[in-house]
Structure 1
Amino acid sequence: MAKSLAIILLLGLLANKLFEKLKLPGLLGMIILGIIIGPYGFNLIGKDILNSSADLRKIALIIILLRAGLGLNKEDLKRVGKPALKMSCIPGLIEGFFIAFASVKFLGFSFIQGGILGFIIAAVSPAVVVPAMLKLMENNMGTNKGIPTLILAGASIDDVFAITIFSGFLGLYSGSHMNIGIQLLNIPVSILLGILVGAIIGFILVKIFNKYNIQDAKKVLLILGLAILITELENLLKTKIAIASLLGVMTIGFIIIEKMPKIGERLAGKFNEIWVFAEILLFVLVGAEVNVKVALNAGKIGIIVLLIGLLGRSIGVVISLLNTDLNWKEKIFCIIAYIPKATVQAAMGAVPLSLGVESGDIILAVAVLSILVTAPLGAIGIKISAKYLLNK
């Protein structure tokens, strides 16, 4: 594992720098590097690190979500509350069903198979979106209307809807007596439980930090350890009750920055430093999950299905932003920011195939294709369009 880690870090730093020199997002270089050195490329990464890939990617995602929580502002959250809730569900729901119907038409799927594919693809990638929004917040781009906060909040809940409905369609396919209506009712409970668990841990940490003199580095380790345990709690209870653990992780950061602003700012700086390492691991390992040959099997029809889905997502964003103070340029930016797919598709694309779902190979191919098409498109789109569409 040590040799593989060295290869990932050294080449990852190089790829990041090279793409930034080309005025492209560094994460794009790291994803491409992962494809090249991964098991479907030159196979330079050992199996030991690939076997731990899911856990390493999850820890990296937790780090950036904690940093995001430490960057949230209560006033901004109040301002974007209702639009953020709409952004968390409407775009994903419309995209998922657009893809489901398109799959029936173009891929010959049943509606249930189409629903499985639709809600794998419908999840926006917090791994791509969150770092981009944090950079905008640091540069005061769009912050006058809370646009980065709006997208941060919406993207963190979006996955909860997509994964829940995907599970419902998977249950229908397997013949289990699973009611999608009940599944949907569980979503608000999941969100509230995630926020509650995160808030409890956040308040406990605030009390500890007020009572004991702990070094900032140790505070970071304590926060990170408890945040990882929240995600493990979700896995432990998933058969009984769902918890939106990633939302809970963000809530920890939010409580700390609200109750202890000075300490919160220092901790945000520490998480920024850790993110330099975690970012390379996350995006190189996401790239390593991508099998280009499988993606090519989806062909032109796969791209058509994806584009139909993105059309549905764009319509959903526009609907979500009705009656807000955003102008047409800012709404277009929100549409672009909601394009990227990566983490959920890499993690769940192969699940239907492993469970024996008919056409599971096609579902995997389209999921992989969605990463190859939308991650670069979204990352480049966010970076370039922010300059022209958002106010500084």
Structure 2
Amino acid sequence: MATSLAVIILLGLLANTLFTKLKLPGLLGMLILGVIIGPYVLNWLTPDILNVSADFRKIALIIILLRAGLGISRDELERVGSAAIKLSFVPGLVEGFTIAFVSTRILGFSFIEGGILGFIIAAVSPAVVVPQMLYFTEKGIGTNKGIPTLILAGSSIDDVFAITIFTTFLGLYSGSHVNIGIQLLNIPVSILLGIGLGIIIGLVFVHIFKKYHIRDSKKVLYILGASILLTTLENVLKNRIEIAGLLGVMTIGFIILEKRPEVAKRLAVKFNKIWIFAEILLFVLVGAQVNITVAFNAGLKGLVIIFAGLIGRSIGVIISTLGTNLNWKEKLFCVISYIPKATVQAAIGAIPLSLGVKSGEIILAVAVLSILVTAPLGAIGIKVSAGRLLETEV
């Protein structure tokens, strides 16, 4: 495994540097590298590292969400509050049900199979979106109207809705007794529990940091350890009650910023340094999950379904930003920022096949294709459009 880590780090740094020099997002280079050196192309990575890939990716995602929380102020959040709430579920719902309907026509799916596919695809990728929004925040791009914060907040909850509704459709397919009302009620409960636990953990750390002198490096490790345990608790209790663990992780950072802003700023610098390593692991290992052969099996029909879903998602974003002070350029940027798929699709795309869903192979193929198409498209779109569509504060 050590050798595979060395390969990931060295080639990941090179890919990041090369794509940055080409004026392309560095994460795109790392994603492509992961595809190339992964088990489905060159197979340079050992089974050991692939077995723990999910854990590495989760830790990397935790790091960037903690960093995001440490950069979201209450004033910014209040300014974008209602729009962020709408962005957290409207685009995903419109996209999910659009794909569900279209796949019944194009693939001959039942509506339940279409729903399974729709809500696998409907989850936006925080791994792609969050790092770029943090960069824009630091550079003052779009911050005059809180646009990076708006997208950070909305996209962090988007996955909760998508995964919950995906689970509901999966239960309907298997014939198990699923109370749709209860499942939908689980969404706000999950969000509130995640935020509540994040607030409690954040306040505990605020108290500890006030009472005891602890080096910032150790503070980072304490926070990271507690955040990992929070997401572990989410997994342990998922069959009983859903907890939006990653949202709780972001809340921890938010509470520390709210109560101890001077500490939060120092910790944000530390997390930025850790992210250099975590980013390589996250995107190379996400890329390594992508089976190009499976993606190609989805063919033209798969592309039609994905783009139909993106049209639905775009309509949902526009609906969510109605009544805000955003101009048409800024609304277009929000549409582009909600394109990328990666982490969720890589994590749950194969679940229907493993559970014996008749159309599981096609669902997996379209899920993988969605990563190949939307991750590069969204990453490049966000980077290129930001300077043209958003104002930069001086």
Is the Cα–Cα contact under 8 Å of residues 169 and 180 in structure 1 kept in the other structure? no
Q: In the alignment, is residue 153 of structure 1 matched against residue 159 of structure 2?
A: no
Is the Cα–Cα contact under 8 Å of residues 128 and 340 in structure 1 kept in the other structure? yes
Deviation sequence 1:242-263 (CA, Å, 0-9, x none): 1101110000000101111111
Q: CA deviation at 1:118?
A: 0.2
Deviation sequence 1:230-286 (CA, Å, 0-9, x none): 100101111111110111000000010111111100000000000000000000000
Q: Which amino acid aligns with 1:63?
A: I
Deviation sequence 1:270-315 (CA, Å, 0-9, x none): 0000000000000000000000010000000000000000000000
Q: Distance in 1 between matches of 2:291 and 2:302?
A: 15
Q: In the alignment, is residue 295 of structure 1 matched against residue 295 of structure 2?
A: yes
TM-score (norm 1): 1.00
Deviation sequence 1:76-108 (CA, Å, 0-9, x none): 100111100000000000000000001100011
Q: CA deviation at 1:197?
A: 0.1
Q: Distance in 2 between matches of 1:128 and 1:136?
A: 13
1:187 maps to which residue?
187
1:319 maps to which residue?
319
Q: Which amino acid aligns with 2:356?
A: G
Q: CA deviation at 1:356?
A: 0.4
1:46 maps to which residue?
46
Q: Which amino acid aligns with 1:329?
A: K
1:131 maps to which residue?
131
2:119 maps to which residue?
119
Q: CA deviation at 1:145?
A: 0.5
2:359 maps to which residue?
359
Percentage of matched positions with identical amino acids: 73
Q: CA deviation at 1:151?
A: 0.3
Q: Distance in 2 between matches of 1:184 and 1:150?
A: 24
Map 1:174-213 → 2, pairs under 5 A:
174-213=174-213
2:106 maps to which residue?
106
- SS of the equivalent of 1:57 reads helix
Q: CA RMSD in A?
A: 0.4
Q: CA deviation at 1:12?
A: 0.2
Map 1:134-283 → 2, pairs under 5 A:
134-283=134-283
Q: Distance in 2 between matches of 1:369 and 1:179?
A: 32
- SS of the equivalent of 2:323 reads coil
Q: Distance in 2 between matches of 1:48 and 1:213?
A: 39
Q: CA deviation at 1:73?
A: 1.1
Q: CA deviation at 1:179?
A: 1.9
Q: CA deviation at 1:181?
A: 2.3
TM-score (norm 2): 0.99
Q: Distance in 1 between matches of 2:73 and 2:328?
A: 24
Paired positions, count? 392
Q: Distance in 1 between matches of 2:107 and 2:156?
A: 30
Q: Which amino acid aligns with 1:48?
A: D
Q: Which amino acid aligns with 2:240?
A: K
Q: Which amino acid aligns with 1:382?
A: I
Q: Where do 5+ consecutive residues of structure 1 fail to align?
A: none
List 4+ stretches of structure 1 deviating above 6 A: none
Deviation sequence 1:17-55 (CA, Å, 0-9, x none): 000010000000000000000000100000000000000
Q: Which amino acid aligns with 2:121?
A: I
